[in-house]
Amino acid sequence: MASRGNRSSGDGNAGAPTTLHPLLHSWFTEDDTESDYLDYGTDDDNGTCHSLIDMNLFLHYSLIPSVLIILVLSFLERRSKRKKIDNELLHLDGRFGFVIPLDLIGNFNNRWTFGFAFGAMAYTIMSLEEYLPHGLPGWAKAIGLLVGAFEVGLSYYPIFACLTTDSQMVGSVIGFLYTLIWFTVTVVDITTCPDGYILGYLEKVIFEWPSLLCLVFLVGRFFHMFIKCIRIHLGADIQNDEKCFLQKHQAEHVKRLFQKPTLERKNWFQRKIYTWDPCFRFPSRMIGTTVLSLLCLYIFISLEYSIHRALSYLLNSLETMLELLGPSYNHTVYSVHEFSEAFTIVWFFTTFLSCVVTVSYILHILVCYRKHIRKLWVGDKSFLPKQFQNPLSSQCVAAIARYSGWQVAYILWGYWIMHVIQILLGMVFVCLFVFPIKHGKAAELLKGLGFSM
């Protein structure tokens, strides 16, 4: 995957990724030394580009304003339960409360905003391995990834805190400025060196446009929150109580239960695919998981494409080496070239097929979630395993906290296993059927299958 840090770039056909992955680095680089790719600056005489901003250092330094923002929002938040220390510090008036970044249990406000906030940090989380030194043992890498994930979470914490704080005016201003800084730095990093070694032209744009899209959405959302706060302050708008016990769509559902059901004609899409229900809303947990799954799938496919490029590079290198050995290897060269072309076609076809299946599965999860929640509303737990029909409250909270991470990991692993199996089956089909037909051996193939011409 393309690095968010100082990534060297140049002609797309000149080489291969150097900071993408240690294994890919060893595959693609031959005479280049690693120090050639770790210098910082701008364009040099060889046409090699270096980003003006070190995203690794920026991530570290972003913790300073992040902690300050958390302290400011905590100062504006009053604790609902007073402690003994509050009797000694009366002038604080219960301040420095904990700002909850996100309610994963039953929050229906800012659902898409939280989803895009997760999407903005998804790329950084997925590329944490690039920030670690090469050659670390497994246990050290695990600790490094854990510390890196904590650092990224703390760096993006103000975005979530500004969305949930009761001080909407302060939260909207701080959130707008903080998100705008992240967007500006990311744009500068991309525009300084937009090209790379994997895809060549506009590589960084291709890899990082989902992150930019999420940041643009967040900037617009915070600006909208600020305008709304101004209108409420001027009396032109009414402040809605977002912490009411019963949400509006839930109240509409209760009203519908006391009404006589009406038969509605449904089209083919509503009968076979999905029927929209105005009395049901997915919580922020499900929306965030869906957005995060789609963005992580895109990033994962980008990483997978780099592996495909590496394998294609190895096959091309083998073909070139055989050509240098003499004309006696012409048949082998042709076979390697034919296999390489078939592998590329099979990879693209199976990538598209696996993406369609995975996206359909992600949407199917939402459909099943709504169906199961409706059953729980009427007390039907038959779809649950017996050991989970009466869980403890602590088990429910723990399961909700684990859900998003486990679901995304399950989707990515499912895509990877499915894609690898499809590639293997596709190559077996090509070798057993396509190549014989292409080489004029269709009659022998049919005879081997028991057919006679």
Closest CA relative to residue 7, chosen from 405, 271, 16: 16
Chosen domain end from 234, 261, 291: 234
| pLDDT value at 197 more than 80 | no
Asked whether the beta carbons of 225 and 168 are under 8 A apart, the reply is yes
Q: Is 108 in the same domain as 222?
A: yes
**Which residues neighbour 366 within 8 Å (Cβ) at sequence distance 6 or greater?**
282, 286, 290
Task: Specify if 388 maps to a domain.
Answer: yes
Q: Is 230 in the same domain as 289?
A: no
Q: Is 378 in the same domain as 303?
A: yes
Q: What is the pLDDT of residue 208?
A: 82
The 3-state secondary structure of 364-405, one letter per residue = HHHHHHHHHHHHHHCCCCCCCCHHHCCCCHHHHHHHHHHHHH
| pLDDT, tens digit, 9 for 90 and up, residues 10-22 | 444 444 333 444 4
Q: How many domains is the chain built from?
A: 2
DSSP state of 94: T
The CA-atom distances, in angstroms, between 90 and each of 72, 83, 85, 86, 87 are 19, 11, 9, 6, 6
Q: Is 323 in the same domain as 385?
A: yes
Task: Specify if 241 maps to a domain.
Answer: no
Q: Is 167 in the same domain as 311?
A: no
Task: Specify if 269 maps to a domain.
Answer: no
| pLDDT value at 200 more than 70 | no
Question: How far is 11 from 201, CA to CA, in rounded Å?
Answer: 8
**Which residues neighbour 58 within 8 Å (Cβ) at sequence distance 6 or greater?**
185
Domain extent, residue 394, equals: 282-448
Q: What is the pLDDT of residue 32?
A: 41
Task: Specify if 268 maps to a domain.
Answer: no
| pLDDT, tens digit, 9 for 90 and up, residues 328-386 | 777 787 888 888 888 999 999 999 999 999 999 999 999 888 888 888 888 888 888 88
Q: Is 95 in the same domain as 208?
A: yes
Q: What is the pLDDT of residue 350?
A: 94
* Cβ neighbour number for residue 114 with a 10 Å cutoff: 26
The CA-atom distances, in angstroms, between 78 and each of 88, 158, 189, 397, 414 are 16, 18, 39, 25, 45
39: exposed, middle or buried (C-beta count within 10 Å: 0-12, 13-18, 19+)? exposed
Kindly state the average pLDDT of the residues 418-428: 93
Q: Is 58 in the same domain as 152?
A: yes
| pLDDT value at 150 more than 80 | yes
**Which residues neighbour 383 within 8 Å (Cβ) at sequence distance 6 or greater?**
372, 375
Q: Is 372 in the same domain as 431?
A: yes
The model's pTM is 0.76
* Cβ neighbour number for residue 102 with a 10 Å cutoff: 17
Task: Specify if 111 maps to a domain.
Answer: yes
Task: Specify if 8 maps to a domain.
Answer: no
Chosen domain end from 234, 265, 296: 234
Q: Is 295 in the same domain as 426?
A: yes
Question: How far is 429 from 431, CA to CA, in rounded Å?
Answer: 6
Confidence of residue 88 (pLDDT cuts 50, 70, 90): low
The CA-based angle 297-301-304, given to 5 degrees, is 140
Task: Specify if 188 maps to a domain.
Answer: yes
Question: How far is 27 from 254, CA to CA, in rounded Å?
Answer: 62
Confidence of residue 310 (pLDDT cuts 50, 70, 90): confident
Q: Is 120 in the same domain as 185?
A: yes
For the chain, state the CA radius of gyration. 28
* Cβ neighbour number for residue 303 with a 10 Å cutoff: 18
Task: Specify if 272 maps to a domain.
Answer: no
Asked whether the beta carbons of 274 and 346 are under 8 A apart, the reply is no
Closest CA relative to residue 225, chosen from 160, 175, 283: 175
| pLDDT value at 441 more than 80 | no
DSSP state of 38: S
Q: Is 229 in the same domain as 301?
A: no
Q: What is the pLDDT of residue 18?
A: 38
